[in-house]
Amino acid sequence: MMPLPQRIFLVGALVVINHFAWGQCYNCDNQYPLAAQSTTSNSLIDVGICNFAGEYSVFNVTAGETYTWTTCGSAGFDTQLTLFDNGAGCSGTALEDNDDDCGAESTITWTATFTGQVSVLLSQYFCSSNTLVCGTIQWACTSCGGGGGANYN
């Protein structure tokens, strides 16, 4: 049987490895687009034209509504998405993250627990930035009834 100190070290090492291998990303380089996004559309709409890994976008959300952010089918690299609880990039609390929901690309679906702003960070696996290849983040308010929402860029 393994001595207690070695078991404690092994468990601690596995927790650290697990956190870094499947945890949230914090590589916020800058905000794109510069304006906060709003929508009531339950159909996916584009956020910006070309989102690079390391950029975050800010979204206005309403308590009780369910939102989806995705890069599925619209990014030329292995993506990760991280959702933060404020509109200040990576300085908030990470609420959700996803890696490889649809092949090598990502999706987050989240029901807002407050009315305010959230940030969504786009990263290239593994939590890195990339300014050579861009992708498109799409989002929708999947619980909103309207199909003709607005995207304010």
Tell me the pLDDT tens digit for each residue of 85-135.
999 999 999 999 999 999 999 999 999 999 999 999 999 999 999 999 999
Residue 33: Cβ within 10 Å count: 16
Bridge partners of residue 111, in order along the sequence: 66
pTM to 2 decimals? 0.81
Q: What share of the chain is helix, strand, coil (3-state, %, to 5)?
A: 15, 45, 40
CB-hemisphere CA count at 13 Å for 131? Answer: 6
* Mean pLDDT of the 47-68 span: 96
